[in-house]
Structure 1
C-alpha cells in the first residue's frame, strides 16, 4: 500500500503453477501424469492441543501422513487453517477444500443451518478468495452429506453455490460429498452442475460407475470408517464386523468391556468397510480417481462405537497421540515406494494360544516367518491380497519375518516376547526447537523390559516434570477412553506407550523433561531451545 510515495503496508503471497485434469475413464492427472489420489480426511484438532492452530503440530501430522504415502487431504468439513494450506503447498499435498457441513437443513439444533441463509454467500466467497492462490488446493467441495440431497431445494442451492464459486474461480473443479447414489432421489446430482461426483462410502457400487453415471467423473470423497485401537488385538473373524451393526443401534452391542477395538482391520461402522476392502476397489479401476479415507488421525469427539467414557474417535489410521496403528503400514506398502515389512501382533500371549500373525509387505515376492529359529513357512500374496497370514501356537521367544525378492533378503523384522516393565525410554522427534513460544517437541514414552523390548500391555502411570525454558503443553496415549485431562502431566501408558508435548517459551536455553513411575527407573531427556 503506497501513499504519497511511502509504503504504508505490504503483503507477500506465495503461489505456484500446476495443471489438473479429471478424465472420465482414466481418473486424475496432475501436470499431465496419471496420479491416483491417495487421500485422507482430517478434522481440525491437534490431539492433546485441542483446536488451537500450531504450525509444528500440523506439520507433524502431515509428515506422518506423507511418510505413509498419502498425497491428498480433504479438509472436513469447514474452512481449513491457512497454516495448513501453507504447509500443504510446501510439502506437496493436494487439498480438497471443503466449505460447508450443512446448508439450510440442520444436522444439529444449533449448527450452521441457522446462519446459512444470511451468511452462506459471503462465507463461501471469502473462503475461495482467501484460498485460491494455494496451488495445493485442486478442487472445491461445497458440502458434506448435505440434507438437501433429498428434496428439490438441493437442486436450486447447488446451482447457486456453484455459480457463486465460479464467479471467483473457474480454474478448479467443484464437487460435493454425496451419500445417495440413486440419482432419482438425489437432487444435488440432478442439478447437473458438479464437475466431479463425490461419493461417500457405498464402495460396492463403484465398479459400475461408468455404466450408471454416464458422462460423469468420480472421486471417493469419504470412505472406510474402519475402527481400531492401537496395539489391541482380538482374534480376527473371516468377515468384517460392524460396530454398531445398523442404524437402529447407537452403540455396539457386546463390544469390549475396556472400550477397545481390535487393530486387525476387521471392524468398521455399519456404513463403512475395512481399509483393505475399499482400497482394493479404488486400486483396481483406473476411472476411480482416488479416495479420501475417514480419517487420517483419530480426533476429539465422535467415539463410535462406544458411549462415554470413550471421548475420541477410533477411525484414524494414526491414533490421537500420533502413533501409527498397524493399518498405517498396509497403506505405506501400497501408497509409497519405501520397502515395507510390518509384522503384527505383539508376541506376549498365553502358552499354546493360536495367534493370527499378519505381515504387510511390498517390493518382495514372499515372506518367511520364523519362531525361535524354526521356519513356519513361506507366504506369498495371491490375487489382490494386501497381507499374508499364519496361525501360530504361541511360544515365548522371537518371531522373525524375512521378505525376499528373487531369493535375496529385502527386509527383516523381529518381535520378541517382553518381560516385566523395567525402564522408561524417552525419544524426541526434535532435540532442537525454536525459542518462539510456539515450537514443539513431541517426546515418545515407551515402557520396556530389562532388555529394551517394549512391553505391549504396559499401563504404568508415569509422572512428568519439566525445568528450563519450556513447558508441558499436553500428554496423551492414544487410548480413546482415557478421561484424564490432556493437559495433565500424568499419563498412563496405553499398550506400552504414551506421549509428552513440550512447548518452548521465549527464552533460549535447555529444557529438561523427567519421567518417573513406581518400580521403573527415572529417566530424563534434554531439548535445546534456540532462536
Structure 2
C-alpha cells in the first residue's frame, strides 16, 4: 500500500456560483495543508458570527488539486483519506460528486476508483462551509491532514487494526491484535497476516501470524494473542510505547501485499467509587485542562509540531489530562498525548438534536450520529492516552425522557465499538433544565448559557444541587461510567450519599475556584479529577475571561461577550502563544507541585480602579517588577504560596508580612509602592522558611531578542519552528510594560506561518509580518519548505535587529 500525505499542490478560494466569474479578489491562492481558510479573512464587528467566532465572517471555500493518475492504478484501490474538513465537506472528482461529510471533525475516506480517468490528470475539488454553526472559533476548510492511499485489491482495511491488552501482570502481558483484510477482487483469496511487536527500545518482543481467507467483495478479521514478557507499562509519569507492525503476504510471493505500523501502550484501567480511577493499579486524580482545537496564531489547524508543543507545555504546567472540548481531538494531538503521558477525555460534540447555534450540527445529528461515534472511536482505539469518551457537552435535551434515550443510545454505541474505556458526559444541570428554570426565573430564556451562568452567582450551586436537577438528570447520568459535571461541585458530596455507586469527574470548572475545588476533588475518591476552563487560551467566545476596568470612558457591561476587537477568550492558564499566565503558577501551587512562592503584580497604572470580571476571569497580574511608573506609585502585589504567611522584602528592606488565605486560598496580598530594585517574597510555615522567589527590575540595556525553542527541526510540513521575540536586558529580564511594534523576516527554505501575542483584544492579523509586543513578548511560527538554514530576523525602531538560525534537516 502506498499511503502518503497529500499536503502540497492545493489552492483555495471562495466558492462562487455557477455563473459567477473569478477576479483578483476571488482568485485561487496556493496553500499547504492543513489549512484554515478563515484565519486570514478580515474581521468585522458587524460579522453575523459575532463574538462567538472572534468577529470572523463565515463563508464557503473551495479547495482544488490536480492529481496525476497513472494507467497502472486501474487495477488498484485508490482512496483519499481526510482527517477533518470544517464543515459539511463535499468532495468532487472531475466535477462528479464523490462524497459528503457533515461533521467538521470526523475523519472520512473517499473511494476514487469509480471517478478516476487513468493515465490523465484528474481534478479533486473539496468544498467546505462555515456560518453561525458553533459557539467558538472553528476555522474552516481542510484543517487536518489528507492522505492518498493506493492499495492492492487485497489489502488491510484502513484504521481496522485493533490492539488491546486484556491480561497484564509483571511477568507478561497478553496483547490481543486483530486486523481486517479486504478483498476487492472477483475471487476468494487466502493470504497470511504477520504481526511483529517491538518494545520501547526497538527490540522485537513478540511475533505471530495467521492465514486468512476472504470472499470476493468482503472483509475478514485475522486475530492473534501475542505474549510480551516483562511488559513496560504506559502511564502518566512513564509513558512507554510499543509498536505493532502488520504485514499481509501471499504464499510464494516475497513482496508484501500490504503493511502498516501502529503505536500502542500496555496499561490497565479500573474504576470504582472507593479507589477512583486506577491506571496500572494505582489511583490517579486527574489534573485536567479543557482545550479547544485551534492553535492560536496558526488558526484551527492540526499541524503535528503545534499539537505536540501544546501537550508538552501543558504537561510542564502541571496538567495530566485534557478534555477535547467540544469535538474529537486530532490524531496528531492523541499521538502527542501518548508520548507525553497525558490522559485524554475525547468528546463527541456540543449538541445532539437541539440547536445552540443557528446552523450547527444538530440539524443532521439524528442521521449522522452513529457515523460520528464510529469515527471518534476508530480513531482513538489504539491510543493508550484515551481513557474517557465523552458523548456530549451541556446537552440541552439531556433532562428529558428523549434526552435520556439519546444518552443511552450514544453510550451503548460507544461500548459496542470499544468496551475497554469509560463513558462520560459533560452534564450541566442548569443548562439541561433551562425551560424549567425559566419558569421560576423569567429572564433565563433570553440569556445565552454563558451569561446565564455568569450572572446566577450563588444560585448556580444551589440549583445544581437541587432536587429538580437530581431527578431530571438521573437517567441520563445512570447510563454513564463516570458522571461529568460542569460547574456543579455542589453535587460531589451530595451524590456520594444519594448515589453511592456513582463516580464523578469535574468535567468543566471555573479557573478562579481551583483553590477551593482541588481539596474537594483530592479528598473524595469517587471524584476522579477536575478539568479547568481552560488550560490553553483559544480563539472565539471572545473575552469570556477578560478583566474590564469599569471606569474606562464609554465602558458598557456586555456580560461575557467581549466587544470588538476581542479575539481570544482570555481564560487559559497558558495564553494562545503558550506563555504561562499567573493563574498557571497559582494552580501549580494548589496542586502541590511548586514549593517556592510566586509573585504576581497588578499594573500600577490600574491601581485602585474598579474592575468587572466574569467567573472565567483571573486577576490582571503579571510576574514583573519592571513598570513604566514613577517611583512611589501605589501597587498591589499578590504572592501565591502554600504557607502560613509571606514576608515581602525590597532591596533588603522589609515591606511587610501578610497571612496566606485572607483574600483567597494560597494568596497573600500586599499594598505598597513601586520602587525599582529586587523584590523578594519569603514563604513561611510555622515560622520556618519554606521557599523564596524574587523579581528584579530590568536594566537600561534593553535589547530585542529572538530565541528559537529548538535549533533544528524537520524539513517537512509536519514541523514548525517556534521563535520567541522578547524585549529584555542582559540578564534576560523582560520589560513587560512597553508596547513595541516588531517586524519579522524569514530567509531560506521556510515561510512565516503565524505571528501573534497573548493579547486577547487585537486588530492585528496573525498573517501579518508585524505585531506589537504584549507584556514584552511575541511568538513567530515558522513552517519549513525544504532542507537548509532558515534565518529569522526581527527588527523594531530604536533597537538593533536580532537574527537567529534554525536548521531544517531530513
For the aligned pair, the TM-score class normalised by the smaller chain equals 0.7 to 0.9
Matched, 1:79 2:328: yes
Q: What's 2:486 paired with?
A: 200
Q: Distance in 2 between matches of 1:36 and 1:450?
A: 42
TM-score of the superposition, structure 1-length normalised?
0.84
Compute the displacement of 1:332 (Å). 2.1
**Which residue among 38, 47, 51 is the counterpart of 2:287?**
38
Q: Distance in 1 between matches of 2:267 and 2:789?
A: 43
Residue 792 of structure 2 contacts residue 805 of structure 2 at CA under 8 Å; is this kept in 1?
Answer: yes
**Which residue among 488, 513, 528 is the counterpart of 1:289?**
528
Q: Distance in 2 between matches of 1:467 and 1:337?
A: 41
Q: What's 1:24 paired with?
A: 273
Q: Distance in 2 between matches of 1:452 and 1:429?
A: 15
Residue 518 of structure 2 contacts residue 590 of structure 2 at CA under 8 Å; is this kept in 1?
Answer: no
Instruction: Write 1 or 2 for the structure with the bigger share of strand.
Output: 2
Q: Cα deviations across residues 411-465 of structure 1 (Å, max 9, x unaligned)?
A: 5533233467842122211111111233112111111358753222111100111
**Which residue among 420, 427, 440 is the counterpart of 2:707?**
427
Listed as ranges, the matches of 1:429-444 within 5 Å are 429-444=709-724
Q: What's 2:345 paired with?
A: 96
Q: Distance in 2 between matches of 1:480 and 1:8?
A: 52
Listed as ranges, the matches of 1:60-459 within 5 Å are 60-180=309-429, 181=464, 182=466, 184-185=468-469, 187-191=472-476, 192-224=478-510, 226=511, 273-303=512-542, 304=544, 305=560, 306-335=562-591, 337=593, 339-345=595-601, 346-347=624-625, 348=627, 349-361=629-641, 367-377=646-656, 381=660, 385-403=665-683, 412-418=692-698, 422-448=702-728, 453-459=733-739
**Which residue among 511, 516, 525 is the counterpart of 2:804?**
525
Matched, 1:506 2:786: yes
Q: What's 2:173 paired with?
A: none
Q: Distance in 1 between matches of 2:375 and 2:752?
A: 36
Q: Cα deviations across residues 507-531 of structure 1 (Å, max 9, x unaligned)?
A: 2x21111111111221111112212
Compute the displacement of 1:325 (Å). 0.2
**Which residue among 715, 727, 751 is the counterpart of 1:471?**
751
Aligned residues: 482
Q: Cα deviations across residues 344-382 of structure 1 (Å, max 9, x unaligned)?
A: 2132244434422222345x7865421021123455646
Compute the displacement of 1:395 (Å). 2.3
Residue 428 of structure 1 contacts residue 442 of structure 1 at CA under 8 Å; is this kept in 2?
Answer: yes
- Gaps spanning 5+ residues in structure 1: where? 227-272
Structure 2 residue matching 1:170: 3-state secondary structure: coil
Q: What's 2:302 paired with?
A: 53
Q: Cα deviations across residues 232-277 of structure 1 (Å, max 9, x unaligned)?
A: xxxxxxxxxxxxxxxxxxxxxxxxxxxxxxxxxxxxxxxxx54434
Matched, 1:13 2:252: no
Identify which range, 133-142 or 10-19, moves more after superposition: 10-19
Identify which range, 161-170 or 315-324, moves more after superposition: 161-170
Q: Distance in 2 between matches of 1:316 and 1:29?
A: 28
Compute the displacement of 1:285 (Å). 3.2
Structure 2 residue matching 1:11: 3-state secondary structure: strand
Residue 69 of structure 1 contacts residue 336 of structure 1 at CA under 8 Å; is this kept in 2?
Answer: no
- Gaps spanning 5+ residues in structure 2: where? 1-154, 156-247, 430-463, 545-559, 602-623
Identify which range, 467-476 or 26-35, moves more after superposition: 26-35
CA change 1:287–1:391 in 2 (3 A) is: farther
Residue 196 of structure 1 contacts residue 219 of structure 1 at CA under 8 Å; is this kept in 2?
Answer: yes
Q: CA RMSD in A?
A: 2.6
Identify which range, 207-216 or 158-167, moves more after superposition: 207-216
Structure 2 residue matching 1:74: 3-state secondary structure: strand
Q: Distance in 2 between matches of 1:223 and 1:510?
A: 45
Q: Cα deviations across residues 268-313 of structure 1 (Å, max 9, x unaligned)?
A: xxxxx54434334334433322111111111111112312110111
Compute the displacement of 1:131 (Å). 1.1
Q: What's 2:167 paired with?
A: none
CA change 1:521–1:414 in 2 (3 A) is: farther
Structure 2 residue matching 1:521: 3-state secondary structure: strand
Q: Distance in 2 between matches of 1:518 and 1:450?
A: 19
Point out the structure with max Rg over C-alpha.
Answer: 2
Q: Cα deviations across residues 65-119 of structure 1 (Å, max 9, x unaligned)?
A: 1111211011111111111111111111111111121111111121111121111
Q: Distance in 1 between matches of 2:796 and 2:718?
A: 29
Q: Distance in 2 between matches of 1:516 and 1:163?
A: 58
Structure 2 residue matching 1:295: 3-state secondary structure: coil
Q: Distance in 1 between matches of 2:308 and 2:575?
A: 16
Q: What's 2:75 paired with?
A: none
Residue 518 of structure 2 contacts residue 591 of structure 2 at CA under 8 Å; is this kept in 1?
Answer: no
Q: Cα deviations across residues 472-494 of structure 1 (Å, max 9, x unaligned)?
A: 11111110111211011100001
Q: Distance in 1 between matches of 2:692 and 2:803?
A: 31
Q: Cα deviations across residues 178-236 of structure 1 (Å, max 9, x unaligned)?
A: 01145645655324211111100033443333124343111111111x4xxxxxxxxxx
Q: What's 1:240 paired with?
A: none
Q: Distance in 1 between matches of 2:772 and 2:530?
A: 36
Structure 2 residue matching 1:10: 3-state secondary structure: strand
Q: Cα deviations across residues 381-414 of structure 1 (Å, max 9, x unaligned)?
A: 4699323333222223221234578999765533
Structure with bigger RCO (C-alpha 8 Å, 6+ apart): 1
Q: Distance in 2 between matches of 1:103 and 1:155?
A: 12
CA change 1:450–1:59 in 2 (3 A) is: closer
Residue 567 of structure 2 contacts residue 761 of structure 2 at CA under 8 Å; is this kept in 1?
Answer: yes
Residue 196 of structure 1 contacts residue 216 of structure 1 at CA under 8 Å; is this kept in 2?
Answer: yes
CA change 1:503–1:449 in 2 (3 A) is: same
Q: What's 1:269 paired with?
A: none
Q: Distance in 2 between matches of 1:129 and 1:429?
A: 34
Q: Distance in 2 between matches of 1:458 and 1:319?
A: 19
